[in-house]
Amino acid sequence: MSDDKTTHFGYQKVPEKEKADRVRAVFDSVASRYDLMNDLMSMGIHRLWKRRAIELAGVRRGQRVLDLAAGTGDLAEQFSRIVGDSGAVIMSDINQAMLAQGRTRLVDAGIVGNLDYVLINAEKIPFADDSFDCVTIGFGLRNVTHKQFALDEMFRVLRPGGRALVLEFSHPTVKPLAKAYDVYSFSVLPTLGRFVAGDADSYRYLAESIRMHPDQETLRSMMEQAGLERCEYFNLTGGIVAIHRGYKL
């Protein structure tokens, strides 16, 4: 019966077993232009969103951090600098092309020694219970087939006192902004994708996947369902992006 289950891939309904491969194909296509497109799409604001996420993560020297869906490693790079030689950072992604792109970028930046690279499906994290002081997933949860499974796994591998952080596109809280954002998402983004990355469809999927992602309150409830406590969220840029944080107490 499970083979008949479907899930969303953007606005399409597809068999659950196909979604991971479809998402992988999207990021295989855009990996080489991913950083450039992030800067163009957000006009550089994504750097401020990630800086705020780093602050809210509260990572300290000597701690262990797991960065899921790490992409090209913007968060992992900063965590590596913070935890120092006595700490450790696992930079992970389900997509080999993205992970390779990130590894090349970080090695070129001189980030070595306390940073390891692991191919990971966030729904099945291959680490023991209570392994990390902080687990993050940045702009990746919306691509996960079973989001609750991923949140459950994040909780499981956190140490008591540890923090889970979800940085993700969310739902604008101001109606005029929401309308302008829709126009931008469905007109400008695919056009940018076509001219810069040679791929309009992947950026159309990006816009659709954001609309299908749970809203702020729903995601907070899902984190609580996973066992996380003191869950809260911080809207950025009018709710276009939100950072959710919860603790394993």
For residues 226 and 149, give the distance between their C-alpha atoms in angstroms, rounded to a whole number: 8
Residue 28 marked in a binding site: no
Proportion of the chain in helix, strand, coil states, percent, rounded to 5: 50, 25, 25
Q: Which amino acid is at 168?
A: E
Q: What is the DSSP letter of 198?
A: S
**Strands (E) located in the chain:** 6-9, 12-15, 64-68, 88-93, 115-119, 132-138, 158-169, 229-236, 241-247
Residue 122 marked in a binding site: yes
The 3-state secondary structure of 51-119 reads HHHHHHHCCCCCCEEEEECCCCCHHHHHHHHHHCCCCEEEEEECCHHHHHHHHHHHHHCCCCCCEEEEE
Say whether 166 sits in a helix, a strand or coil. strand
Residue 3 marked in a binding site: no
Query: Binding site residues for S-adenosyl-L-methionine, as ranges?
Result: 72, 93, 121-122
List residues forming the annotated binding site: 72, 93, 121-122
